[in-house]
Structure 1
Amino acid sequence: SLAVQALAGAAVGATSPLVSVLALAPVAAALQAVLGACLIDRFIGRKSAFDDTASILRLLALIAPASCLVSATVSTPLLVQEGLIAREDLFFNWWNWWLGDTLGVIIATPLMLVLFGRPAADWRSRRNAVAVPLLVALAMLSIAFKQVISWEENRIHAQFERDAHLLATQVQRRFDAQIDMMLSISGLISNSNHLTREAFEAFVSPWLHRYPGTQNFAWNPLVRNDEREAFEAIMQEDTPGYRILDRDLQGQTFPAAQAARYYPIAFVEPRATNLSVIGMSPYALPAAAVAIETSQRSGRPVASDPFRLVQERDDQRGMVVYLATLAPGWNKAAARTGERRSGIVSAAFRMDDAIASALDPRLAALIELCLIDRSGGAPGTRLSGTPGCEGPGWLERKVRHAHAFEFGERPLEVLLRATPAYLLSLRSWAALGTVVVALLATALLGAFLLISSGNTRRIAALVERRTQELEATHADLHDKQAALNEAMRIAQMGSWESFDGLRGLRCSHGLHGLLGRQQAELSSIDDIVASFREDDQSALREIIDELTQAAGLRTIDCRTLSEPPRVLHLQIESEWSEHGLGRLRGIL
């Protein structure tokens, strides 16, 4: 038990205090064994051979469950105290611990008794009857248990795959919706001769309400360097103090330096929470410039590298998607001539908020999610999820799922893994019940084998004892019969008796000498009658016939056939039973 607890502590990375707590479990197991021995002494007796039903049932149905309360009751609260078991799972783990110990004791006890019980002579004859069937049952139980565990794991994996695929699909759909929104805004701008801030606001506001996590939608027109002052003057009519701005990697903004062209934010919604980015030109940032130029070449939305948004107050990451769009010129001359020049529709959104709004909250609380940008190769850049989830060790858990998709020309991957709470929620009482029933059936088999082998042993011992007593009685009767024959010989007496009515005849050795007949000549009562003179035979036969009709005792004197004849005194009696005449017995 100490070795098992040490391995368990090492598996969970136990610290020294925790190892000390886990070391108490073996002490509880030892106390449990001591209590079991005391209960056996009290209710059964230590020298019991466990060959009667009462002692076996007391051992397996009373003593084993009662003694196994110790380890579970001592150990599970300690594990809760150290945080290895949730407080709400205390009873479930206590029940599992007690039930496992109890069934283990009930199953192992018959094997231990027949293999190591003392005195060995009392158990040797029961080994094959108990050990072989029980070992076969345990082997079959092991196979069945492995299969049940496999079925349970497959069921959990299948359910997790469904739930994880749902979450991954919800994430992908959220990102796809972001692209759809940008395409819609691009269509609006491309087909408008003169776009106003009010029209832009009216169009994008429903999207913002429907898809939380979107930081803003913006329209960034193309402004050449020689048009900068005129553009800023026009924008200041609606936004006092409007300037074209740049930003550094730390998110600080400042007036833009001289450049060939700018893509400043002209319109942004929601405006109130994004005032700090109005006028900012992302083109000055290398990563944003690459995304903008890529979109201009392909005509498709392109996402920038993840970074911390200017408006961000927390630590979550953001991403901006750019879509090159042909739109009317920003000045009146361009509007009159119908000039169309390339601008940028951009959308910034906060990763954690966007993903959280898209997920099923029940599943999101039970399944950990990590979103990774694989553009730079392994291990990738974490966009959302637990810090470090992009590392190779994050998916070492057995129940996991990965889903790859593309967003804004960037390969993204959603990694999901089951939390202990999720696995707990899928815990099946059916599987546990199947295992418990199988263990209980094996335990009952062990009890039955102990009872049957004990009864067999007691019956065999009783038969052996009765056989010895019968042999002793037979030897004693033989000795007494020999002494009686010797006494009859000395007293010149003889005896005879029939058996099974009048069939058969058993004669003493002295009778042959008195009648002068050989052993082979006396095989029936008629042979005895024929051994006397003819005029005595009729009287003797009448007495015999009378005794065959009712129980009684008669005497008669008869003369032998020898010369000179001998007069012998005969005493004849009959014995009867409920079925009729038992036998006739005569003494001469």
Structure 2
Amino acid sequence: MNKSSVLDQLTSQKKVMTYGLLLVLTYVITGKLGLMLALPPGYASAIFPPTGIAVAAVFVAGRKLLPAIFLGSLLLNILVGYSDNHQVSITNIEVALLIAAASTLQAFLGGWWLKHKIGYPTSLDNPADVVTFFISAPVICLISASISVGGLFALGLIGQSLFFTSWASWWIGDSLGLIVMLPLTLVVIGRPRSIWKKRFSTVALPMIITFLLLVIIFIVVSRWERKESLVEFDALSNQLSEQLRIRFDSQEAVLKQTSALFNYRVNDTVSRQDFHHFVSTTLDGYPMIYAIEWAPKVNRYERHSFVEQQEKDFTNFEIKQFNLNKELMTAPEKSFYFPIAYIEPLKEATQAILGVDLASLPDRKQTIQNAINEKKVVATPPIKLIIKKGTELGLLLMYPVHSKTQNGILSIILRVDSFFGELFMPVKQSVEVRLIDMQTGKSLYNGFSESNLEASYTREFKFGNRQYRLETAPTALYHQQHRGWQSWNMLVVGLFGTGLMGALLLMGTGYTARIENLVKQKTEELKESFYLFQEITSTLGEGIYVMNTNGMITFANPKAHALLGRSESELLGQNAHLLFHNKHIDKSVYPECECQIRNVIHSKQPYKSVEEIFWHKNGTPIYSSVTSVPLFRDNEIVGAVVVFDDISERKKIEHALRDSEKSFKEIIEYAPIGMAIVSLSGQFNIVNQTLCNIVGYSNPELLKLTFQEITYHEDLSIDLEFVRQLIDGETDSYQMEKRYIRKDKEIVWVQLSVSIFRNEDDAAQYFIAQIEDITERKIRDNEVHQHAYFDTLTKLPNRRMLMDRLSQELSQAERDNRIVALFFLDLDHFKHINDSLGHDVGDLILKEAALRLLSCVRPNDMVSRLGGDEFVILLSEISDANYAKKVAEKVLRKFEEPIDVNGKEVIISASIGIALRTGDVKITFKQLMKNADMAMYESKATGRNRYYFYNLA
């Protein structure tokens, strides 16, 4: 090996390394951009540009760049795994190696196949090569999709339910990446460079602009889809927020209701037995409460007598506190104590804390002081509850008692997991919930996953003298169940259209290049003819021959020889009629053209024909434009000069144009959405099968109709106004949702996009319409509305609709000085029925309760279900309180009737709380709801199966 060959080899290796590094960089960058359009879990994209770049690289350079393709794919997929988890795991590396191997194999086989079928270098401009490429692309891309998705499934990263979706989206993304990116890559590196370089502005730039516009539209539509998908989530979050507020408020009502036990005692104190009977009844209706405790204030002089009194029930009772090791010890001497005297329910876990001085714990002590100072319910910060020798996060609600016989603190103990978990558990699959105590910054309840750290919905509220913030976020399952496919489908169709546009541009530019070469060749021939025969032909470059009065050819220029394929000896002295015949035509019959040319000699008038046929020596037709003029000499006719020009190429162009028109019609016919060409009067001129399927008419039937005849009458005026604006030039296009009347008289909703075509004089010619069937989407939107405003079990209005209606009614009542009544109704012992007979029976009872309530009110009144066994009745306009009383009595009588459940009679009663808005009193709907709720609890406390008016004199 000589020195020159060694240098050439080193230079070649350096070029390969340089191109390889550029390929790795391009692969990673375009891959990251493509994966921005990916579906979860982040591997399959609507378009994956590296596929086309990799196959093009192998198509051009062969297997030398395969290591660069493998390295680029490996780095890209490692970066994807790191972006998801912020660490590189063994699984990430396994996935990256798998996908890199599959991508490299696909690039190798794809490049080899295209080179074998199309050949390289190539201009990729004839229809056969373009069709071969379009058919081969999706077949090639089966390789990576099958290997990669199969591997991900084997590794457990893709579930069985998502296997086909992931495989299909992967395959489509690779196929579109190959169809779109291979021509663009060849514009940069393809050969022959003279052809591909010119295609930057005619092929690459239009495809890039179209692609960018599609991505922008995709992003906008995706954001709209995401917003639409969160409608149900917002409703659930609002519902949780309202339920949480009501649950907190109900605890406050329990404390105040329990304090009445102490406040109404004048001469004697509340005994343990009194406390037990009263609180046990309350706890039946509030299973979420862990315990209710009573801690009287005991000064140091009363300590001994207090302990003696408590020892009557519990031997060795003493006032205690926790030491630093969280162990109980006898409390030291202090000026006063707040020892736990009574606690319900009394069981092993709660009995252990009897005698514990609440004031010995700093957080409890401060809460006690705040409750006494402000004389209202005060909540502790999040605290650790000691339960069965373990700790659990909890919360205490404290309320001061100042009676003639006893002073102290009533407390409700809430276990966070049971109190909030029961509330948030029903929506756990759809909503992640976090409740934060804002003063401490601690989470009372945190159901957020590690991958979902940001809240999509927040609401702050105050309770128990503390500020709380409720944060919610949709779960991955929610996103999966509410995923919209319109944007992704639109992108896929648009990208395929971009690839198809690229193919048409490739064929068009190739055809133009051939025409330019032909024109260039013809021009050179004309120049040569001009210089060689300027005496005869002057500036003409057409075929010329001269015949005498007998039709014999006396002269023919070289161009005529070339066009007719005959030498000088084969033309001179021959009869001109041989030019218009071939061996299959009877020479005794003169074609019309020949007769016209011969007639020039007799008529002495020129003859011109746009298109005539001469015959080549080899028997092929020559399409020509012909001009024949009489030839005079000494004012006598001596013959004729015939000038003819070969227009065969023009005929080919005309055929190509007809083929192009046919392709255009095929594109319209096979478009995935309805398409139509419509006259200015509204008549359908061209329609595709998709549109026929949408409106139910056959193609001939639809062509006999106008768009006005199939448009729903309520939408026609809007549509016609848009049409007027189009014709008047006020707008270039318009979009609208409208209804068509199908042939079977069914209504179908469509998304209509219309533009107008104008000629070079800017005169309107016809409309171009695109029609997409959106009936299913409209139905889905209606279902979302129904779910957002109505209870799914009873079909009654839910809390959201009730709040809207109640706000409106209160505003109207305030203006008109009307009376509004609000019933808060709770089914008695429903939980016992639900637990003993089952939830199916409970659901039947709730439905029957809804029907009975509806039968007790007027049509303009509202019955709503808040959740569980809680119902609300809104009497929007009544004459006085007696009417509300009559309705309540009617409801109670209605519930006296037994309910037939699978042949078994079940009797259930209801407790009703009634709040009124009367006179010129201003009251918010929240306060009115709270008043009715408190009245309902008073009804339960006084024996159930009755009604109670709030603040009724």
Q: What is the root-mean-square deviation in Å for CA atoms of aligned residues?
A: 3.9
Secondary structure, counterpart of 1:141 in structure 2: helix
Distance change in 2, residues 1:249/1:208 (3 Å): farther
Distance change in 2, residues 1:348/1:394 (3 Å): farther
Find out whether 1:164 has 2:237 as its counterpart. yes
Q: Which residue of 2 aligns with 1:299?
A: 375
Distance change in 2, residues 1:86/1:394 (3 Å): closer
Mapped to 1, the partners of 2:275 and 2:256 lie a distance apart of 14
Paired residues of 1:505 and 1:524 also in contact (CA < 8 A):
no
Q: How does 1:144-155 map to 2 (within 5 A)?
A: 144-155=217-228
Distance change in 2, residues 1:354/1:443 (3 Å): same
Paired residues of 2:295 and 2:341 also in contact (CA < 8 A):
yes
Q: Which residue of 2 aligns with 1:222?
A: 297
Mapped to 2, the partners of 1:141 and 1:72 lie a distance apart of 24
2:415 partner letter: R
Mapped to 2, the partners of 1:148 and 1:254 lie a distance apart of 66
Secondary structure, counterpart of 1:323 in structure 2: strand
Mapped to 2, the partners of 1:83 and 1:15 lie a distance apart of 17
Find out whether 1:373 has 2:449 as its counterpart. no
- TM-score when normalising by structure 1: 0.71
Find out whether 1:290 has 2:355 as its counterpart. no
Mapped to 1, the partners of 2:408 and 2:227 lie a distance apart of 53
1:448 partner letter: L
1:133 partner letter: P
What is the deviation of 1:354?
0.8
Mapped to 2, the partners of 1:498 and 1:405 lie a distance apart of 103
Paired residues of 1:321 and 1:346 also in contact (CA < 8 A):
yes
Find out whether 1:523 has 2:637 as its counterpart. yes
Say which of 311, 317, 329 aligns to 2:393: 317
Find out whether 1:443 has 2:499 as its counterpart. yes
Q: Which residue of 2 aligns with 1:208?
A: 283
CA deviation profile, 1:466-493 (whole Å, cap 9, x unmatched): 998987651457972799479xxxxxxx
Find out whether 1:342 has 2:403 as its counterpart. no
Say which of 560, 563, 567 aligns to 1:474: 560
Q: How does 1:254-273 map to 2 (within 5 A)?
A: 254-272=329-347, 273=349
Secondary structure, counterpart of 1:347 in structure 2: strand
Secondary structure, counterpart of 1:278 in structure 2: coil
Q: Which residue of 2 aligns with 1:423?
A: 479
What is the deviation of 1:35?
1.7
Paired residues of 2:262 and 2:406 also in contact (CA < 8 A):
no
CA deviation profile, 1:362-388 (whole Å, cap 9, x unmatched): 3x2343333222224xxx22322269x
Distance change in 2, residues 1:316/1:147 (3 Å): same
Say which of 79, 83, 91 aligns to 1:7: 79
CA deviation profile, 1:507-543 (whole Å, cap 9, x unmatched): 9xxxxxxxxx981322278xxxxxxxxxxxxxxxxxx
Paired residues of 2:265 and 2:405 also in contact (CA < 8 A):
no
Distance change in 2, residues 1:121/1:36 (3 Å): same
What is the deviation of 1:277?
1.7
Say which of 405, 413, 417 aligns to 2:461: 405
Paired residues of 1:212 and 1:357 also in contact (CA < 8 A):
no
Mapped to 2, the partners of 1:17 and 1:518 lie a distance apart of 98
Find out whether 1:174 has 2:250 as its counterpart. no
Q: Which residue of 1 aligns with 2:357?
A: 281
Find out whether 1:109 has 2:175 as its counterpart. no
Paired residues of 2:394 and 2:416 also in contact (CA < 8 A):
yes
Find out whether 1:245 has 2:309 as its counterpart. no
2:405 partner letter: R
Q: Which residue of 2 aligns with 1:535?
A: none
Secondary structure, counterpart of 1:340 in structure 2: coil
- TM-score when normalising by structure 2: 0.46
1:255 partner letter: T
What is the deviation of 1:410?
1.8
Say which of 132, 136, 142 aligns to 1:69: 142
Distance change in 2, residues 1:95/1:196 (3 Å): farther
CA deviation profile, 1:11-41 (whole Å, cap 9, x unmatched): 1323263453214423322211112123324
Distance change in 2, residues 1:199/1:102 (3 Å): farther
Paired residues of 1:174 and 1:354 also in contact (CA < 8 A):
no
1:301 partner letter: V
Say which of 106, 119, 133 aligns to 1:32: 106
Mapped to 2, the partners of 1:202 and 1:504 lie a distance apart of 134
What is the deviation of 1:80?
5.4
What is the deviation of 1:178?
2.0
1:99 partner letter: I
Mapped to 1, the partners of 2:413 and 2:344 lie a distance apart of 11
What is the deviation of 1:160?
4.2
Unaligned runs of 5+ in 1: 328-338, 487-496, 508-516, 526-588
Paired residues of 1:76 and 1:94 also in contact (CA < 8 A):
yes
Secondary structure, counterpart of 2:599 in structure 1: coil
Mapped to 1, the partners of 2:637 and 2:373 lie a distance apart of 133
Paired residues of 1:316 and 1:384 also in contact (CA < 8 A):
no
1:226 partner letter: Y
Distance change in 2, residues 1:314/1:84 (3 Å): farther
1:354 partner letter: F
Mapped to 2, the partners of 1:112 and 1:243 lie a distance apart of 87
What is the deviation of 1:65?
1.3
Paired residues of 1:212 and 1:353 also in contact (CA < 8 A):
no
Paired residues of 2:386 and 2:392 also in contact (CA < 8 A):
no
**How many equivalent residue pairs?**
485
Paired residues of 1:171 and 1:359 also in contact (CA < 8 A):
no
Say which of 599, 602, 625 aligns to 1:502: 599
Mapped to 2, the partners of 1:394 and 1:172 lie a distance apart of 28
Distance change in 2, residues 1:355/1:39 (3 Å): same
CA deviation profile, 1:183-205 (whole Å, cap 9, x unmatched): 22123332245434344334333
1:300 partner letter: K
Which of these two proteins has the greater Rg computed from alpha carbons? 1
Distance change in 2, residues 1:192/1:443 (3 Å): farther
Mapped to 1, the partners of 2:324 and 2:292 lie a distance apart of 21
Find out whether 1:55 has 2:129 as its counterpart. yes
Paired residues of 1:211 and 1:357 also in contact (CA < 8 A):
no
Higher-RCO chain (CA-CA 8 Å, sequence separation at least 6): 1
What is the deviation of 1:406?
2.0
CA deviation profile, 1:330-356 (whole Å, cap 9, x unmatched): xxxxxxxxx434211111111122111
Mapped to 1, the partners of 2:595 and 2:416 lie a distance apart of 114
Secondary structure, counterpart of 1:226 in structure 2: coil
2:133 partner letter: L
What is the deviation of 1:47?
5.7
2:245 partner letter: Q
Secondary structure, counterpart of 2:302 in structure 1: helix
2:111 partner letter: A
Mapped to 1, the partners of 2:217 and 2:255 lie a distance apart of 57
What is the deviation of 1:54?
4.0
1:521 partner letter: N
Distance change in 2, residues 1:411/1:423 (3 Å): same
Distance change in 2, residues 1:188/1:523 (3 Å): farther
2:504 partner letter: F
What is the deviation of 1:46?
4.7
